[in-house]
Structure 1
């Protein structure tokens, strides 16, 4: 086991949890992940900030690393950028979860004819979590093709990790406005706001306070990398502490420009206490998914 893995396990032991539940990790078909890595390689010229992939490794090694870190539950966040992708990504996600212990079966969708049908099939066949990426997909979450999809997921109580904040670059349909409109129609939707809604942190915490099934994941938030671009407002730390039962650990592994341990240390240095850390890093996810 590596020094890094030892340090991650020591963190878990120090705060008093048996391991970690990470709701925002990416495993994808190889050719899709290669395209994603190419995108991140080009992010530097677009944002002025380089984004080196720390864990640019073969799939088996990435899976083994999460196990060495003591991650007890993780996801294969998949997402389409055009019509015709979601259904075959869902088939891949089902096969991946079936062969990889600890992976919560993950699926996705896109506003297209037939979306309700393949989402219903995914739900009925055991999907545990969905991913929606409004920035990459460049679609309106309130598109008519998705209304029955969101309703189905709200009724089933299946969490949907959604990149809906405007970081690292805003999209036409990112920001709290479209999600607020969606939640007005589907108030029981188990929306998990990826990246804490970066950079619109306070606005998405408002939604979490208004809707009891809304959660936020910590992915990349509070890290040195993100604090340079979109610092979390210190005046909101008290509210973040109060929302502790609805904050979930997320990392964006393997597509992060720093080591896995740094996300955990960034949460610890918020100073919100071990009880908050135990809930975020393990308890909330374990309860949500029955682990």
Structure 2
């Protein structure tokens, strides 16, 4: 795939070149998991959103250079049907539609959209979200009762403290229900008022059975979030963007912590941030492979851990 969106009418040979590149990448992704003897991949960190929301997210990434000093081109800036087809071509058997509000009054609407999306798109885990506001416990309960399999919390974008008392009942409900929450709580790519390990640690101290999946492995506070995973048996970490050339330039993973990745190999989950990544999907897989932690570790991270967490029965 190209690194930048194709704009304006394109000659047939240009469109064919893009399609050929996509097919070649898909073949290589399938070869990756095929060599491991897997039926496919499970990616716990992918984004599908209402169109007008996604366009705003893309506009944010288009302007993120001034925040990070690094341009962030969207590799898979495609229409929704094409993005779904790409994941299918890659052999992604299970994925999420991570949505998140940035202000009160959005979450219930996003949950309705995500429920409809999961109902019409095979392989998508029904996703929901939350925000510290009046009524949050009620709509979280409604989403769980409706079949939500995973929640998304974005501390950075939402600019809220995950320990806000308004969220306490919702966290308790999710802990009791055993529904995983993918939470962006690390301070990358830019810190927020409530990012970092401290606020999340306080939530876990109150709700130790909460199944948090720390997005981006807590980038850049990797060590602190590995500590939390060791302390709380239900905490997991996703690999989203970590170990890639892009993130290694911005926030390199400490070489001395690599052994802990092996020790926690049953609680690390494949995440990609598709489609909002500044490189091809295959690169995330190669970044995991070059850690040199072995095929058993890769099988667990790329499929088995998430399949077990979400009680998936998947086949080709």
Deviations 1:157-210 (A, max 9, x none): 000000000000000000000011110000000000000000000100000000
| Aligned counterpart, 1:124 | 145
| Aligned counterpart, 1:242 | 263
| Aligned counterpart, 2:110 | 89
| Aligned counterpart, 2:237 | 216
TM-score calculated relative to the size of structure 2: 0.92
Q: Supply the distance in 2 between the matched residues of 1:14 and 1:140 (Cα, whole angstroms).
A: 43
Q: Supply the distance in 2 between the matched residues of 1:256 and 1:5 (Cα, whole angstroms).
A: 16
Residue 138 (structure 1) aligned to one of 139, 159, 167: 159
- Max radius of gyration: which structure? 2
User: Helix, strand or coil: the match of 1:2?
Assistant: helix
| Aligned counterpart, 2:203 | 182
| Aligned counterpart, 1:150 | 171
| Aligned counterpart, 1:12 | 33
| Structure 2 residue 227 is matched with structure 1 residue 206 | yes
Q: Supply the distance in 2 between the matched residues of 1:74 and 1:242 (Cα, whole angstroms).
A: 25
Deviations 1:99-138 (A, max 9, x none): 0000000000000000000000000110000000000000
RMSD: 0.6
Measured after TM superposition, the shift of residue 46 of structure 1 is: 2.1
Detail structure 1 runs of 4+ shifted over 3 Å in the superposition.
Answer: none
User: Helix, strand or coil: the match of 1:74?
Assistant: strand
TM-score calculated relative to the size of structure 1: 0.99
1:42-53 paired onto structure 2 within 5 Å: 42-53=63-74
Residue 103 (structure 1) aligned to one of 124, 138, 146: 124
Measured after TM superposition, the shift of residue 155 of structure 1 is: 0.2
Deviations 1:197-226 (A, max 9, x none): 000001000000000000000000000000
Residue 135 (structure 2) aligned to one of 82, 90, 114: 114
Count of paired positions? 291
User: Structure 1, unaligned stretches of length 5 or more?
Assistant: none
